[in-house]
Amino acid sequence: MPLLLGHRGSPRAHPENSLAGFQAALDAGLDGTELDVRRLADGTLAVHHDAALRGGRALAELTRAELPPEVPTLPEVLAWAADTGAYLNVEIKWEGWQPDDRVARTLDSLRVHGLTRQVILSSFNPLILAAARELAPDIERGVLYDRPWRAGPLELPEVVGRWVDAAALHPHHALIGPELLALARRRGWRVNTWTVNEPGEVQRLKALGVDGLIGDLPEVLLTGR
């Protein structure tokens, strides 16, 4: 059976990227959750998808003391995962081409919380994944992408996946077909895909043999389990 992860927790029932949503995904029977890492003005690593809060204020302008209570810090989420055994897909959000200190600090925090065996680090920015490879080669990396790239949907994993020594490809589910699965198997890469919210798509992807499904609706991901 594939790994099943909540997309930012359980966002249809709880605020996305919240501890309540993460726990709800686990309680529903999923294996863990996907989450996003950003940085506040004081250097705090916060778990939030967008660059700004719903009211419009940029996270880069906030300090930890100004962060709304429903937005957790990364150490808070990692402590939760250590307590519960939840598997994590930690995405470092693209905040510029050059990797910043979030890479080293996220990796260090994963080590502190003893999570190196139950996590995969992902990003749309291949330079972030390359930096992670140099800093912590033992922590797995997943190449995240959402569209065909140049010559076709297979060029990105061939080039970037090999460069960053990826453990997995993380394509949008619409990009997945037998050819991509065959490439991944040749390279020894797992395939984890997002955001899968339709029962028919869950069944298609399971039949193809994907290794992980990420979605908003736990009951849909659990179809056929």
Locus of tokens 């736990």: 218
Write down the pLDDT at residue 225: 74
Local confidence band at 158 (pLDDT 50, 70, 90 cut-offs): confident
Smallest CA-to-CA distance from 170 within 150, 198, 200, 140 is with 140
Region 69-95 average pLDDT: 97
| Residue 7 scores a pLDDT above 90 | yes
Question: What confidence tens digit (pLDDT) does each residue in 172-220 have?
Answer: 999 999 999 999 999 999 999 999 999 999 999 999 999 999 999 999 9
Give the CA diameter of the chain: 49
Question: What confidence tens digit (pLDDT) does each residue in 159-173 have?
Answer: 899 999 999 999 999
β-pairing, 32-39 vs 87-92, is parallel
The domains found in the chain, sorted by start residue, are: 3-221 (3.20.20.190)
In the three-class reduction of DSSP (H, G, I as helix; E, B as strand; rest coil), residue 155 is classed as: helix
Question: How much is the CA Rg of the chain, to the nearest whole Å?
Answer: 17
Residue 102: HSE in the Cβ half-sphere, 13 Å Cα cutoff = 31
In the three-class reduction of DSSP (H, G, I as helix; E, B as strand; rest coil), residue 170 is classed as: strand
Q: Which residues have a Cβ under 8 Å from the Cβ of 31 and sit 6 or more positions away?
A: 3, 4, 5, 86, 87
Local confidence band at 157 (pLDDT 50, 70, 90 cut-offs): confident
Local confidence band at 147 (pLDDT 50, 70, 90 cut-offs): confident
Run of H or E residues at 87: strand 87-92
| Residue 129 scores a pLDDT above 60 | yes
Smallest CA-to-CA distance from 127 within 85, 153, 151, 96 is with 96
In the three-class reduction of DSSP (H, G, I as helix; E, B as strand; rest coil), residue 106 is classed as: helix
- How far is 161 from 142, CA to CA, in rounded Å? 8
Please give the single-letter amino acid code of residue 7: H
Write down the pLDDT at residue 188: 96
- How far is 151 from 148, CA to CA, in rounded Å? 8
Neighbours of 212 (CB within 10 A): 24
124 vs 155, higher pLDDT = 124
Q: Tokens for 63, please give them.
A: 């300090």
Neighbours of 32 (CB within 10 A): 23
